[in-house]
Structure 1
């Protein structure tokens, strides 16, 4: 019941947030900016399916399409709860567009996604960030209004523009990827675009 209430409060916060564009914040991207194929991944950092995508699909996708310059990927935030919302702010906080923190959070998701309430979860997230040697001001990152707006706007725009309602949701050249999300299906779709 507590998680339900937290999720409900989180969604209400999103609905009543202003749509403020934070232009000075860089999007987390990997790949050649001029690549023919643009992949957008809407993800929630507490989503086990998203972590699975990063562990079992993304490495091969990166090797075959991103590192070769055929595609680029943008990671967009679609937090499903307050814990994911704060983790998204941490991933975005360095403001350099690098995916390192995002990858660490997905790779070791089970080490920090725990707690009976938002306060406990934040404490676990903060401890995890410190243990990983990630040099950020945790409190400043999770209370920064520009970062907060940036993350919320990703979610709002995803729902409006692409009808995102679950994570992960993959968009390829502005079209929603509707097949089962595994590397084989993704590869077939991408090969048709080359």
Structure 2
């Protein structure tokens, strides 16, 4: 029968060294975890931070003196945008735009198909050539005439857009816009909107920003609170 091995005795100094080693390992791990958390939060940018939005040369509704900017990123082929324009926006216009609480802007995020980009660039040309009032009439009419069955078809042709514009302007003005569109007069404005939307990481429409912050709510009460908060921050 073999002899049992004797267990080595651990001296007090060895116990102390072992404890210190474990303490430092745990400390290093904790520091690493904390660092990862901080880096993660920095990369997310924080939900309360304002987006760097530029409102110059953008079509808007409301008084120049309104303290809060509200922006809708939309697509003229998007059924949800049509619903927003016809159902939710009238409440915003009545209680916030017309009362001088907000300036309401529209920016393009055209992502559904070729119709989306064509209509968006044409609308930008309307704004450039005929001004703010005609733009909003054309904007509203495009959504009003939107057909859900045509979502995946190319139906918003140049001739369709020109004919639609004739419903809210003269034939001469519509031809003027159609000619300017062919010359690419609305492309820079459209490209700028798309760059802004992509920089913000927008992936769908309608996407709303209130006072530079993304609207995550679902009701008019949520919207009201964001407007009030933004107004306080702007004082």
Normalising by structure 2, we get a TM-score of: 0.62
1:102 aligns with 2:144: no
Q: More relative contact order in 1 or in 2 (CA 8 Å, sep 6+)?
A: 1
Query: Where does 1:47-66 land on structure 2 (aligned, <5 Å)?
Result: 47-66=78-97
Higher helix share: 2
Deviation at 1:110, TM superposition (A): 1.8
Deviation at 1:116, TM superposition (A): 4.2
> Where do 4+ consecutive residues of structure 1 move more than 6 Å?
none
Give the total of aligned pairs: 167
Aligned to 1:100, what secondary structure does the other structure show?
A: helix
Q: Indicate the residue corresponding to 1:165 in structure 2.
A: 203
Could you list the runs of 5+ residues in structure 1 that have no partner in the other structure? 1-24
Pick from 119, 142, 150: which aligns with 2:189?
Answer: 150
Deviation at 1:47, TM superposition (A): 0.6
Pick the structure with greater CA Rg: 2
The alignment yields a C-alpha RMSD, in angstroms, of 2.7
Deviation at 1:42, TM superposition (A): 0.6
What is the CA–CA distance in structure 2 between the aligned matches of 1:113 and 1:126, rounded to whole Å? 18
What is the CA–CA distance in structure 2 between the aligned matches of 1:112 and 1:132, rounded to whole Å? 24
Could you list the runs of 5+ residues in structure 2 that have no partner in the other structure? 1-55
Assess if the C-alpha contact under 8 Å between 1:44 and 1:167 holds in 2: yes
What is the CA–CA distance in structure 1 between the aligned matches of 2:220 and 2:116, rounded to whole Å? 25
What is the CA–CA distance in structure 1 between the aligned matches of 2:86 and 2:103, rounded to whole Å? 18
Q: Indicate the residue corresponding to 1:136 in structure 2.
A: 174
Aligned to 2:104, what secondary structure does the other structure show?
A: strand
Assess if the C-alpha contact under 8 Å between 2:58 and 2:107 holds in 1: yes
